[in-house]
Amino acid sequence: MGNFKYLGVILNEDNNNQMDLQERIKNANKTYFIVQKFFKNKNISKKLKLRLKNTTDKVLTHASETGTLTEIDRKLSNVFERKVYRRILGPVYDNEKENWRILTDKEIYAFVKKPTITETIRLNRLRWFGHVQRMGENRIPKKYYI
């Protein structure tokens, strides 16, 4: 049967969502490059840039509630997210070494005070699970997932 796209999600016989995640990362990267000129603009506040980053998050987390995340998938998603954050936040000046450096992962997440993209996907999956649990017994998602 092969692969086919349904409602923006790539499906296949063996229920492997690796291709779908790669496609979502590719599309999120396209979105990132479209809005990159805004991320580079010094006249736009970091707060607004972080709100604009939500567009790439929406592309990356689209239909992620029903898929599984392997360790490689988590790593790829987090690497992409940190790339966008580093572009938005820019380098910082280190007074001790008297030079510019990029932010560490911990510094990034401490600054933005948001869950990582993989934590967001996990929360979406939990929300979807609760939704399916409350469905009637005759509903297709409940029959399929539980």
Domain boundaries, given as residue ranges, for the chain: 4-145
* Contact between residue 119 and residue 75 where contact means Cβ atoms under 8 Å apart: no
- What rounded mean pLDDT belongs to the chain? 85
Q: To the nearest whole percent, how much of the chain has pLDDT over 70? A: 87
Q: Write out 70-116 in H/E/C secondary structure.
A: CHHHHHHHHHHHHHHHHHHHCCEEECCCCEEECCCHHHHHHHHCCCC
pTM of the model: 0.80
Q: Residue 52 and residue 35: Cα distance in Å, rounded?
A: 8
